[in-house]
Amino acid sequence: MRALLISILTCSTLAHAQEAGPIPAGELAPIRAAVGRIHDDVLTRRETYKTLGDLCRVAPKRLSGSPGAAAAVEWARQTMIKLGLEKVHLEPCVVPHWTRGKVEVLKVLAPAEATGSLKILALGGSVPTPKAGLSAEVIAVTSFEELTRRAAEAKGKIVLFNRPFSATELSTFKGYGGAVGQRVRGASAAAQVGAVAAIVRSMTPNLDDVPHTGGMRYAPGVAKVPTAAVSTRGAERIAAWLKRGPVRLHLRLDCQTHADEKSFNVVGELTGRTLPDQILVVGGHLDAWDVGQGAHDCGAGCAQSMVALATLKRLGLRPRRTIRCVLFMNEENGLAGGRAYAKDHAKELPNHVLALESDRGGFTPRGFTTNANPAATAILRQLAGLLKSGGDRVIPGYGGADISPMKGAGVVQLGYLPDSQRYFDLHHTRIDTFDKVHWRELELGTAAMASVLYGVAELKQTLPRNPKKKAEKKAEKKAEKKQPGDGKAK
Ligand SMILES: [Zn+2]
């Protein structure tokens, strides 16, 4: 009993030690109370889960430029109004419009004993094959260096990029980072050595038959060859056949790139109580790949961002500063929304205190990643230390793609970090659907985000900004010279 008591005492001392930091105890206490109320409310109302279910039903297919994306924009606008967000409006951006088409075939022609097709998805932005498809022998490589070394062998062939997603990295995002270059740059690397198409092993540590699509870029001035992702099991089979002899495949894709379309970021806010011109941004991306429902990527982040604000408003927790929810368009194949926001709000960015993105799925909270300076990190750690869910780590890292264009202006970036073990089971696949979302895991993320946002927005002191990048400073000086008196922020 006594041992238990001591250990309980030690635990609570530890908890308070974790909370020690630059925020004085008197200021922290009401924030701690608010964090408790936020968690209770979010976990009983289940509003994030309902909101995400709605999005997956109304606009499951919402790749930029599609009718589904337009439906998602209108849905988000109406939902923000319904949730009580303030100043709800749309901000325009121009997005690419690519469609997958109906035909996606990778047929095995040789070896003779291997019949049938392998599971593929065209990569977003790929050109189609000729109508009748193309047939060629395959060469498999695990790196761009290997491709360069075997350039002569690759001519006229289909290149399979088969570097596995590392299974040993505990963060699956690190595994992703180590493999995704093949998907993004593979087609042009293949074309440069005279190959006729590129197939890339799907971005997942799993061995299964689920292909993962994703973005790719053609290098300027290089011939565009068609490109698709093959399931990891498919890639393994090709590699095994190649050990015994030549492999010949037939690829047919009828995807198409259309004229650019007009689309929108959807914006709403909780206007600050006393410092409304100081702004915190929270968001995810509203677009999603066209094959599943984008439930985890990034419907979860969108629903969490909206409901975080709705919760604070309902609980009467209107903080000093404004919290603005931005649902960005076109993260998956262009980042037009993120760029448009940073550009159109350039004058306001010196008053942007923080940008938080949730784009790693709706799983159990583990913490946040940030590029914050040490003083801001200490504050964020102290606030995250109040979380009841255990998601209290604040570690150095990336904030998010959509908020990254604000980085140069010194806006501190914060990325919501849920458990990453299952994310790449689903990412960019047909199975990223609402039934894969667990309501408690999702809601705990909303509570974590709402708590930290509230804390930063309510602080007496402003979260210390990051130093501006040199390029930003130069551009600002230039603007000041051009328009004297107009370059200064209020
Ligand atoms: Zn995403």
Which residues make beta-bridge pairs with 345? none
- Find, among 406, 397, 300, the residue nearest to 358 by Cα: 300
Please check whether residue 135 is in contact with residue 166, taking contact to mean a CB–CB distance below 8 angstroms: no
pLDDT for 281-327, tens place per residue?
999 999 999 999 999 999 999 999 999 999 999 999 999 999 999 99
Q: How far apart are CA 233 and CA 230, in angstroms?
A: 8
CA of 104 from ligand 1 middle (Å) equals: 23
d(CA 431, CA 444) in angstroms, rounded, equals 23
Q: What is the arithmetic mean of pLDDT over 201-221?
A: 98
Q: Alpha-carbon distance 416 to 446, whole Å?
A: 10
Residues whose CB falls within 8 Å of the CB of residue 424, separated by 6 or more in sequence, listed in order: 165, 172, 175, 176, 203, 204, 205, 206, 212
165 touches 199 (CB < 8 A): no
Query: Ligand 1 (ion): which residues have CB within 5 A?
Result: 297-298, 359
CA–CA dist 71, 79 (Å, integer): 12
Ligand 1 centroid to Cα of residue 336, in Å, is 14
The tens digit of pLDDT for each residue in 73-101 reads 999 999 999 999 999 999 999 999 999 99
DSSP-derived pairing of the beta strands 104-110 and 248-253: antiparallel
pLDDT value at 213 more than 80: yes
Q: Is the pLDDT of residue 14 over 80?
A: no
d(CA 456, CA 55): 29
For residue 16, the model assigns a pLDDT of 47
Of 330, 402, 404, 395, the residue nearest 369 (C-alpha): 395
Rounded to an integer, what distance in angstroms lies between the CA atom of residue 465 and that of residue 118?
50
What average pLDDT does range 125-140 have in this prediction? 98
Task: Check pLDDT > 80 for residue 17.
Answer: no
Kindly list the structural domains of the chain, giving each domain's residue range(s) and its CATH number in brackets, ordered by start: 22-97+260-475 (3.40.630.10), 101-254 (3.50.30.30)
Q: What's the CA gap between 160 and 195, in Å, rounded?
A: 10
For residue 478, what pLDDT is reported? 67
Rg value, the chain, Cα = 24
- In the predicted model, is pLDDT for residue 51 greater than 50? yes
222 and 192 Cβ atoms separated by less than 8 Å: yes
Structure-block tokens of residue 240? 């095994």
Distance 200 CA to ligand 1 centre (A): 20
Residues 6+ apart with CB under 8 A from 5: none
Phi then psi for 357, rounded to 5 degrees? -120, 140
Strands ordered across the beta sheet of 227-230 = 117-118, 104-110, 248-253, 134-141, 158-161, 197-201, 227-230, 120-122
CA of 112 to the centre of ligand 1 (A): 40
Q: Which two tokens stand for residue 368?
A: 């946040």
Span from the CA of 328 to the centroid of ligand 1 (angstroms): 10
CA distance 92 to 83: 22
pLDDT band at 490 (very low <50, low <70, confident <90, very high): very low
Distance from residue 110's CA to the centre of ligand 1 (Å):
37
Whether the pLDDT of residue 8 is over 70: the answer is: no
Rounded Cα gap, residues 120 and 256, in angstroms: 17
Which residues are part of the catalytic machinery?
Answer: 331
Mean pLDDT of 433-448: 98
Question: Could you tell me the pTM of the whole model?
Answer: 0.93
C-alpha distance from residue 354 to each of 59, 283, 375 (Å): 29, 12, 14
